[in-house]
Copies of this chain bind each other. A is one copy, B any other.
Amino acid sequence: MTVLESAPVKVRTCAGRVTHPRPTGQDRYTISEVAAHTGLSAHTLRWYERIGLMPHVDRTHTGQRRFSNRDLDWLELVGKLRLTGMPVADMVRYAELVREGEHTFSEREALLTAHRENVRERIAELQDTLHVLDFKIEIYAGARRSAERA
């Protein structure tokens, strides 16, 4: 805890996951602060950088990583894409396009549009399964109710 001075208050998101708030007015976070904030392990953060999924994190004069708010923004997007099951290789490709500059806008748009279609299909599949689960659960619940009545 070198930069983040306040106590690490935990926050519960609407989806039930626990996360740490981003300290305001700071722009240089240690790897363990970022790990606490994002829920990713320090190992994973180093690995993301090694494979090119992070846009090269700034260092102190002794070589320690100092993540910026921009890095946290990027990790937030990566986290969302990861939750939707986008393969790491595709996210690395997107990161490359971002590094290459504005002339890759249309390719980025195509990549995200294809992924959006993917996500929509996944939602439809999940909702389909939800009906099956409702049906099965109702059978078991019905059996339980008639057992309780007996």
Contacts and interface: CB of A to CB of B under 8 A. Distances in A.
Interface residues of A, number: 38
Interface of A is mostly: helix
Contact of A140 (B84, B109, B119): B109
B125 A15 contact: yes
Contact of A128 (B15, B106, B112): B15
Interface stretch (A28-36, A44-52, A56-64, A131-139): A131-139
A83 B121 contact: no
Contacts of A129: 80-81, 83-84, 119
Contacts of A134: 116
A118 to B, nearest CB: 10
A16 B128 CA distance: 13
A77 interface: yes
Nearest to A120: B130
